[in-house]
């Protein structure tokens, strides 16, 4: 059974005329209501993450900076990251939402989706950036490691932007495999996430980047993910799975130049269902409201059914770009010491 985690308090992270606005969650919940899913899927209120939870990931200076900045009235922390007076508390609630989702899948549910904001995957240990204040997923992961004694994790991030904060936090950690598919960082924020960024020290091989060129679409994504996800998931054999869910690679999204269609998100839901471990999804990007509404519904409808089926789409593989095939060969070569695709 699937669960959702949501609170209307997430709307209190006010961002004025900004792509990451309360309207994103309003539109998602509107879609769930119209599809009569709000009474079919259990929805849980999050609990607020404690400062102890947050400081397992972030420096105390960073936490104090966000707190005092918000208490003094908020504003822009950098050129694109906004915080309102309520944002410190709501950011703790967002991290707590992913903790709540994690607890749900350890107790009764096969998967849980945390519909939270502000998002988190760009936040580093000591810096807010890319619309993110605290790294929600990292906070939940360290909570599970400390409190629930889970020791091996996979994170798959399919936001169109590389989750530099999450990647950097776990870059040297051999027990956390971070996989990200994203637009080529030469062409998009945060200008990180190159193939050669493979993890450091004992974590070498645990940071797997799939940087696709602008203009790539659903056939390119499915071509390369079919060849990587299942064998890598099986070989790494994690105890717990996290999915950073982004809808900003959709063809209608204004912040990217990747052209996924709605059907990709059904395909992605099937890939998630094919994994037997506890599964938590957390919302990251997506800035075209109608596309977010439709694609969330496609994902959630499949996840709630808990049925393993054949892929709901069969894209024309003749449309896969030659540069995508070349990228796959490079990934295969680079990661041959670590994984067999």
- As a whole number of angstroms, the distance between CA 177 and CA 207 comes to 6
- Residue 311 confidence (pLDDT) above 80: no
pLDDT in tens, 175-232: 999 999 999 999 999 999 999 999 999 999 999 999 999 999 999 999 999 999 999 9
pLDDT in tens, 9-37: 999 999 988 999 999 999 999 999 999 99
From 243, 179, 181, 229, select the one nearest 341 (Cα to Cα): 229
Q: In the predicted model, what is the mean pLDDT of the chain?
A: 96
| Four-point Cα dihedral 291, 111, 157, 98, nearest 10 | 100
Strands (E) across 167-319 are located at 176-183, 207-212, 240-245, 279-283
- As a whole number of angstroms, the distance between CA 238 and CA 310 comes to 24
**CA 281 vs CA 3, 29, 56, 122, 163: distances in Å:** 10, 16, 21, 16, 15
All structural domains of the chain, each given as residue ranges with its CATH number in brackets, are 2-334 (3.40.800.20)
Are 283 and 245 in contact by the 8 Å Cβ rule? The answer is yes
Are 330 and 228 in contact by the 8 Å Cβ rule? The answer is no
Which band of pLDDT confidence, cut at 50, 70 and 90, is reported for residue 309? low
- pTM, two decimals, is 0.97
3-class DSSP state of 43: strand
- Residue 107 confidence (pLDDT) above 70: yes
pLDDT in tens, 238-254: 999 999 999 999 999 99
The vertex-302 CA angle with 31 and 227, nearest 5°, equals: 125
Q: What is the pLDDT of residue 308?
A: 63
Q: What is the pLDDT of residue 312?
A: 58
How many residues are present in the chain?
Answer: 341
Which residues are marked as active site? 122
- Residue 310 confidence (pLDDT) above 70: no
Write the Ramachandran bin of 201: left for phi over 0, alpha for psi from -120 to 50, otherwise beta: left
- As a whole number of angstroms, the distance between CA 190 and CA 106 comes to 33
3-class DSSP state of 280: strand
- Residue 135 confidence (pLDDT) above 90: yes
Give 179's strand partners: 156, 208
């Amino acid at each position: 059974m699937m669960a959702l985690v949501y609170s209307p308090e997430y709307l209190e992270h006010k961002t004025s005329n900004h792509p990451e606005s309360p309207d994103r969650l309003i539109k998602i919940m509107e879609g769930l209501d119209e599809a009569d899913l709000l009474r079919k899927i259990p929805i849980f209120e999050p609990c607020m993450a404690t400062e102890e939870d947050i400081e397992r990931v972030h420096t105390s200076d960073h936490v104090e900076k966000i707190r005092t900045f918000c208490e003094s009235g908020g504003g822009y922390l950098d050129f694109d990251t906004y915080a309102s007076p309520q944002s410190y508390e709501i950011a703790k609630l967002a991290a707590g939402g992913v903790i709540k989702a994690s607890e749900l899948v350890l107790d009764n549910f096969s998967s849980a989706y945390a519909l939270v904001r502000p998002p988190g995957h760009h936040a580093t240990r000591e810096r807010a950036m890319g619309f993110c204040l605290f790294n929600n997923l990292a906070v939940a992961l360290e909570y599970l490691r400390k409190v629930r004694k889970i020791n091996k994790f996979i994170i798959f991030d399919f936001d169109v932007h590389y989750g530099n904060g999450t990647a950097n936090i776990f870059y040297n950690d051999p027990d956390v495999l971070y996989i990200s598919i994203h637009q080529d960082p030469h062409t998009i924020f945060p200008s990180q996430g190159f193939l050669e960024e493979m993890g450091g020290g004992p974590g070498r091989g645990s940071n797997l980047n799939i940087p696709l060129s602008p203009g790539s679409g659903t056939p390119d994504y499915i071509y390369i993910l079919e060849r990587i996800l299942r064998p890598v998931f099986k070989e790494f054999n994690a105890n717990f799975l996290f999915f950073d869910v982004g809808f900003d690679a959709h063809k209608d999204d204004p912040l990217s130049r990747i052209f996924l269609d709605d059907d990709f998100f059904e395909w992605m839901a099937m890939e998630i269902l094919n994994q037997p471990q506890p599964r938590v999804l957390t919302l990251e990007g997506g800035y075209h409201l109608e596309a977010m509404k439709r694609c969330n519904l496609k994902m959630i409808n499949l996840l709630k059914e808990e049925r393993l089926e054949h892929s709901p789409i069969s894209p024309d593989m003749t449309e896969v770009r030659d540069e995508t095939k070349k990228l796959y060969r490079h990934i295969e070569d680079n990661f041959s010491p670590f994984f067999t695709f």
